[in-house]
Copies of this chain bind each other. A is one copy, B any other.
Amino acid sequence: MKVLIVEDDLVLMDVLSFTLRREGYEVIHAQDGRAALEQFDAENPTIVLLDLNLPQLDGLSVCRHIRQTHDTPIIILSVRDSDEEVIEGLRIGADDYVTKPFSPAQLTARMETVLRRVGQSAPRKLSLGTVTLNPERHLLEQVDADPVQFSPLEYSLIELLMINGERVLPTQTIIDRIWPGGGDKAMLKQLVYRLRQKIEACDVYIDSVPGVGYALVQRKR
């Protein structure tokens, strides 16, 4: 079980780290908001402990960024007198908060509660860059744009491509997956064309690798 601690006070950081390791958690950490997001993407932690008062990029923004694409539990570490921020954090989607100073036992108890609550639910969203596929609603969601809806076939295709990240999928593999009853290249060609039009405004596009197949990749800007 991996914990990301986002906290710029190194002393507190050390205490937390020590305690949680002793409890059997694997601990990674970041000292500012930017590093937090990088670590989050790189390590994909199971739970996040988030200080709100951070250099570079404040905690609320970090929380917001994470929630755009992930359901990972977030516990806010707040100081007294920052109630408004805590409320805002919970609104944005944090799962709980503890007020400093707190005891290690208090924190781990809180973590367990949150993990238990989250543990029962939620299939994961698929995301690539700023774009997220929401399997529960069959929508492709983006930061600053309306979500995109799909027809059943289109959805199968984009889901298949998303699952495979930026890897190229051979044409025949795709056909077999989407038309189990038997499909053909012309049908796929057409489907790709339609899907491309739908996600034209998104930050990802369907790249074709001649002679091999297709891949969903991030648009660079």
A positions within 8 Å CB-CB of B: 11-12, 14-15, 18-19, 80, 83-84, 86-87, 90-91, 96-99, 101, 103-105, 109-110, 113-114, 117, 136-138, 149, 151-152, 155, 166-168, 207, 209-212, 215, 217
Contacts and interface: CB of A to CB of B under 8 A. Distances in A.
Nearest to A213: B138
A138 B87 contact: no
B168 A138 contact: yes
Q: Which 5 A-B pairs have the closest CB atoms?
A: A152-B211, A136-B167, A11-B83, A99-B101, A105-B113
A60 to B, nearest CB: 15
Contact of A209 (B83, B137, B210, B217): B137
Work out how many copies of this chain go into the complex: 2
B11 A84 contact: yes
A188 B117 CA distance: 33
Nearest to A139: B209
Nearest to A110: B103
Given A11-B84, A136-B167, A151-B211, 11 more contacts: A15-B87, A18-B91, A96-B105, A136-B168, A136-B215, A137-B215, A152-B210, A152-B211, A152-B212, A155-B211, A155-B212
Given A14-B87, A99-B101, A212 B167 contact: no
A96 B103 contact: yes
Contact of A167 (B86, B101, B137): B137
